[in-house]
Chain A
């Protein structure tokens, strides 16, 4: 599995989890999780 595929797997898991959290009533928390998970693979140092 390539590096990009590994990142993609975790993105899919994380965003799916975020959607579940949002649908159970925590819209802001779910959105925040999705946003952060999507950006995590970019390699930001902050």
Chain B
């Protein structure tokens, strides 16, 4: 350290300024390190996400001829419009059924005992860890004409002919709802867990019936979770491939 620096440090009032500068410089160095740590992730994003998506966008306006001809098909091609309607219809039905079932399960999870909650959470999470392909083929084994469900129904005398439960829209919806349930339950449960249960106790204390408590307190407070869960399931449903390919009519 130089003599002038020693002098400056010894002067009252200047020492905190130098210490502050040192802290600021160390923080800036820390920020640079964090920024450097982000570089590999950023490069991966650019190479494996941004570039392919941009390439797809580019092809959509250049193949077979430059222009918006392909996009015009959205409004002029009957097959494209039919496909959009089918996708939207199946995604909407799947989302609605998933939300109803997921809400009931998330509600039960919120108000059950610790042990029951653990068992139920395992039940919710285990299907999430099983491959979508395995689950789809399991549904084929259950729902085909000679499957477990049709055999049981025919055996019990409830139906004479096996029902068409797969290779149609019903099969797709069954398979997709099964896949989407954990994705619907977990955000809903997370939203319900954040609800202050003292609000419910207060409503009950003020004389509200259980139905009124649900309708006027619990449901409005859980609504952000319903919206989030619904949009998430809808987004996943829009681009679903494996289940519709195996359980849908296009496979036949």
Instruction: Please say whether chains A and B are actual partners in one complex.
Output: no
Residues of chain A whose beta carbon lies under 8 Å from any beta carbon of chain B: none
Residues of chain B whose beta carbon lies under 8 Å from any beta carbon of chain A: none
